[in-house]
Amino acid sequence: MSETTDGGTADGTGGGSEEHRAGWFELFFDLVFVVTVSVLAHGLHGNPGAADFGTFLVLFFPAWWAWVNLTVTVNLFGSASARVQGMLLAAMPALGLMAAASPAGLEERAWAYALGAAWVRLVLFLIWFGHARSPGSPLPLWRPLLYCLVPAALWAVSAALPGGARFVVWGVAIALEVALLAIRAGLGTSPYERMSVEHLVERIGLFVVIVLGESVFTVVATFEEHFTAASGVTALFSFVVAAELALIFFVWGTGNAERGLSRAQSGRATRVMRDTVMYLPFVLVCGITVIAAALGTAVAEPHHVLPTGAGWALCGGVLAFYSANAAISTRYGDGLRNVLRWYVPCLVLTPGMLLPAALLLPAWGAVACAAALVFLLAKLSRWRTRGRLTAG
């Protein structure tokens, strides 16, 4: 096995490789996100309201943003060097602090959540600033200062502010980072050209595994607490939902992502790479997470109609998952006609069939309808993929 297999050059200074795959260290690093997803998803169990969904999004996006920025950093610089490994280890307690603070992340623990976010950005700054200072680096010093250090300072300052002002500062910090991704001054296309497409696809896939794992864990753990025949049937239908979502993502989605990212990289379509790595997967994993919460609620009380919030979570999660896939597909250059072949049925059947089932039928019936819907959409997606490959 070459020294680049675990992430770039052995000294951690150089870019992607065709053999660049996620190493054990990155898998260990991901363990903290297992906890983060579980803690945040727990707040959506039962009958979540608009405030609960809003809290989930507000707290989940900074965690996702930290993960995807660290993933891109490792993609470019590797995880084989002791320096990068040390930095990643230093980031793990920060992410753990954010996860532990999440149950009250907008209330009495908001200060701790903010300090965790600042800590992660400081780690990113140390990695990127060290690279910018290395001889021959095309990266100007001001970019890591503005992208990492200034947001870190904003998050740290927000920890001492009262509620309303604190959240305004959070928004400014995130907006600054998002804006700098859109402004390529001093960045150019060099980082995008050096990225390992295989590694990016694998890492995002592993994050999706974490979220799907939360679905399976929630269903099984709830079934263990409510060990009845009806709960067992509902758990079985729930497993079908999770399995079909996994099938769509891993059988079709990852191959499409690798082809699409490779085309975007060769064509220097940096915005396509940015959107399909940094932004759109967040919508997809949010969809899976809220579906998981709704499934857990259904298994707990299979004979009752789903609470209104759980019903909206089930339907909204399905729409979010397929909308993200549709957006990613079009960004990769898939024909709109091919995408609409499976996306239109989703747009029609989710509000037309699944939503009434979620609001009117017993929970087991609603989950059965969800299983039938995702099974149908999976078949349509696979049929579209086989047709395209045959035509090619």
- The pLDDT tens digits for 321-375 are 999 999 999 999 888 888 999 999 999 999 999 999 999 999 999 999 999 999 9
Instruction: Say how far apart CA 295 and CA 22 lie, in whole Å.
Output: 31
Burial zone of 314 (CB within 10 Å; 0-12 exposed, 13-18 middle, 19+ buried): buried
User: Which among 161, 76, 177, 175 is positioned nearest to 127, based on CA atoms?
Assistant: 76
pLDDT at 351: 96
Asked if residue 211 belongs to a domain, the reply is yes
User: What digits encode the pLDDT tens for the residues 9-65?
Assistant: 433 444 444 456 777 778 888 888 889 899 999 999 999 999 999 999 999 999 999
Q: What's the domain range around 149?
A: 27-186
- Residue ranges in the chain modelled with pLDDT below 50: 1-18, 387-392
| 201 and 171 both lie in a single domain | no
| 80 and 207 both lie in a single domain | no
Instruction: Say how far apart CA 284 and CA 282 lie, in whole Å.
Output: 5
Strand partners, 305: 362
Would you give the distance in Å from CA 264 to the centre of its chain? Answer: 21
CA atoms within 13 A on the CB side of 53: 18
For 332, the enclosing helix (H) or strand (E) is none
pTM of the model: 0.89
| 247 and 268 both lie in a single domain | yes
| 158 and 266 both lie in a single domain | no
| 109 and 172 both lie in a single domain | yes
Measured at the CA of 63, the angle between CA 131 and CA 315, to 5 degrees, comes to 140
Instruction: Say how far apart CA 81 and CA 26 lie, in whole Å.
Output: 13
pLDDT at 186: 57
CA 23, 24, 29, 34 torsion-angle sign: positive
Which among 161, 186, 211 is the end of a domain? 186
| 210 and 152 both lie in a single domain | no
Strand partners, 362: 305
| 163 and 265 both lie in a single domain | no
Asked if residue 109 belongs to a domain, the reply is yes
**Are 242 and 219 in contact, with CB atoms under 8 Å apart?**
yes
pLDDT at 338: 87
CA atoms within 13 A on the CB side of 264: 27
Asked if residue 92 belongs to a domain, the reply is yes
pLDDT at 392: 44
Asked if residue 60 belongs to a domain, the reply is yes
pLDDT at 17: 42
Kindly state the tokens that stand for 197.
Answer: 């497409």
Asked if residue 3 belongs to a domain, the reply is no
pLDDT at 188: 60
| 240 and 355 both lie in a single domain | yes
Would you give the distance in Å from CA 156 to the centre of its chain? Answer: 24
Would you give the distance in Å from CA 133 to the centre of its chain? Answer: 31
Instruction: Say how far apart CA 320 and CA 287 lie, in whole Å.
Output: 5
| Contacts of 57 by beta carbon, 8 Å cutoff, 6+ apart | 286
How large is the angle between the packed helices 82-101 and 50-77, nearest 10 degrees? 180
Instruction: Say how far apart CA 325 and CA 250 lie, in whole Å.
Output: 12
Cα 58 to Cα 29, 62, 102: the distances in Å are 23, 7, 10
Asked if residue 21 belongs to a domain, the reply is no
| 115 and 162 both lie in a single domain | yes
For 5, the enclosing helix (H) or strand (E) is none
How large is the angle between the packed helices 150-158 and 110-133, nearest 10 degrees? 160
Which among 186, 220, 241 is the end of a domain? 186
| 351 and 212 both lie in a single domain | yes
Asked if residue 7 belongs to a domain, the reply is no
Domains identified in the chain, total number: 2
Which among 163, 186, 209 is the end of a domain? 186
pLDDT at 301: 96
| 153 and 220 both lie in a single domain | no
| 207 and 270 both lie in a single domain | yes
Asked if residue 5 belongs to a domain, the reply is no
